[in-house]
Amino acid sequence: MKNTALLTIKIGKKTAVTSFIAGTALFLSFCLFRAEFLISFGLIYLSIAIIVNLFVIHALIVSSFIYTSNRASSISTILLQLVNIPIAIMYFLIVTTIIL
């Protein structure tokens, strides 16, 4: 059963890093090319990323209660997930400032 907790933590870390890289790539692409389609694509990506990341955070919270020996790792992975929130807000505010 410990493998399940470790798998959840591994998935959480990969999801956080992937969300950050994909969001940053979209943001930088929009800043460089000012392509209008990237705005709608970015909003769709943001919606999907929110749902996926919330699901992963929920799984990590549940995992931290079930597998108490991995609680510290689960919490640090949750914090890694949560770091993406202010970054996404900053990107969103910059893009809305650019287009307005």
Per-residue pLDDT tens digits for 49-86: 999 999 999 999 999 999 999 999 999 999 999 999 99
Distance CA 81, CA 66 (A): 20
Pseudo-torsion of CA 69, 60, 6, 12, nearest 10°?
A: -140
The reported pTM is 0.92
The total of structural domains in the chain comes to: 1
Nearest CA to 16 among 100, 77, 97, 63? 77
Q: What ranges in the chain are assigned the alpha helix state H?
A: 2-33, 37-66, 71-99
pLDDT reported for residue 100: 82
pLDDT reported for residue 25: 97
Per-residue pLDDT tens digits for 2-33: 688 899 999 999 999 999 999 999 999 999 99
Question: Where in the sequence is the domain holding 43, given as residue range(s)?
Answer: 2-99
Do 23 and 91 meet the contact criterion of CB atoms below 8 Å apart?
yes
